[in-house]
Structure 1
Amino acid sequence: MEVIPAIDLLGGNCVRLYQGDYDQSQVFGEDPVAVAKQWEDQGATRLHLVDLDGAKSGEPVNLPVIAKVAAALKIPVQVGGGLRDRARVAELLSLGVQRAILGTVAVEKPELVGELCKEFPGQIVVGIDARNGKVATKGWLETSEVEATELAGRMAKLGAAAIIYTDIHRDGTLQGPNMESLRELAAGIDIPVVASGGVSSVQDLVNLLKLEPIGVTSAIVGRAIYTGDVDLKEAIQAVTWRDVPPEGEMNYLA
């Protein structure tokens, strides 16, 4: 299980939203590069970046900051937010970003997703953000009639490298992941699923290990690592040790 720290960019700052509400944002850092380095130093093997300004406006806004973060890190970076045409995806990947995350276009232009998956194999990930099982688009400001499980199946067939599934009602709430929705979605596709939204403790991450056999291979952690509810280094160790932690350390699977 890979634990992936998240940085959400809004106005150049690191923030977290509550249930995707732009009016309920909290700034956790004014230097995204320093924050990213902090997570890398604590053992992160990948960084998740979201351009919230871009998601809202329809095109990337924080590319200069994203470029600085990608250049400063040794670990791969995946980025989403406002990527709604080929030019923007190509531009983002040219900055050294390993994977581009597509959201709105997966609903509105699925054929474009298929084309990009062929052009950039292994580098296109689809983010499915669900509100009551329906896919939300345009920075979570609109909710479609498309079922999350249905969209996941279509994107897997088009060649997406992975699906990032976010339960909007859990995001930023520290209430724990929606295990049943994750189980249902992962069971229906044959590509990796990344759990996102609601992680509040190391135990939540350990619980997600139960879904690893059906394809939930990693989890994104946001607010909890900023509030201190989750220590990133400890979390990575917990899901790596499984049931055989070093002597004297806490056994989360007991």
Structure 2
Amino acid sequence: MKIMAKTVLASALALAIAGCGAEAPSAQNAAGQSKVALDNEANRHAYALGTVLGREVAANMEHLTETGIELDNAVVLAALSDALNDNTRMSDDEVQEAIMALVELSTNYAEEQSQVASEQNLQDGLAYQAENAAREGVIVTESGLQYEVITEGEGESPAAEDTVTVHYEGTLIDGTVFDSSYERDEPIAFPLNRVIPGWSEGVQLMNVGSKYRFVIPAELAYGSEERPGSPIPPNATLIFEVELLEIEKAESVSE
């Protein structure tokens, strides 16, 4: 959301500095396109630049509309024409102030929507956990971790300091797969004391050769943390199917 807000500002600044003294074309063809001639390289370059800027502004206008902020396209085009002719009706300070206010409105709306979604994720997760806990074969630990045995192994179990090699698939409660070593066709090794609490607790319950299904409440996963770029939303309950392949015991530290 902050990236989008910065993009709004960047677009406005890009338009403000693009002063090349041209008047905005008014004539259009039947398809609603401008009738400017594209019969030489300079015009094609100019049109390409305008296309990039126009699409960027259009994307931001669409985003702002989604946040409940309605802006008049005609005013935006008028301002663009004024800026291109270095004849703007607002000072640089006024432009900056207005843009920052727009960014703040957009950011506040995004944060409010994120909070609503986070709370909904929490409630949906609690409902899913309650339903899952009632299923035959599901065990709920004192922490709230839920697990069921798919395949029982016969090997040893890891300790919290050990490094394990596993195959796994992680999904959201709606079935969306957000990570899978099976899809990569490559198991992964990691120390159990460096993963989310639900993983650390759950894998220690397993034996080498076993496969478990875990339902991990948000507080044992990533909580309400918003992780930009991550497919895991805040307050998400996570589901993992984990196959324990190997254990590498931690080296004991001598006194």
Tell me the TM-score normalised to structure 1 length: 0.20
Larger radius of gyration: 2
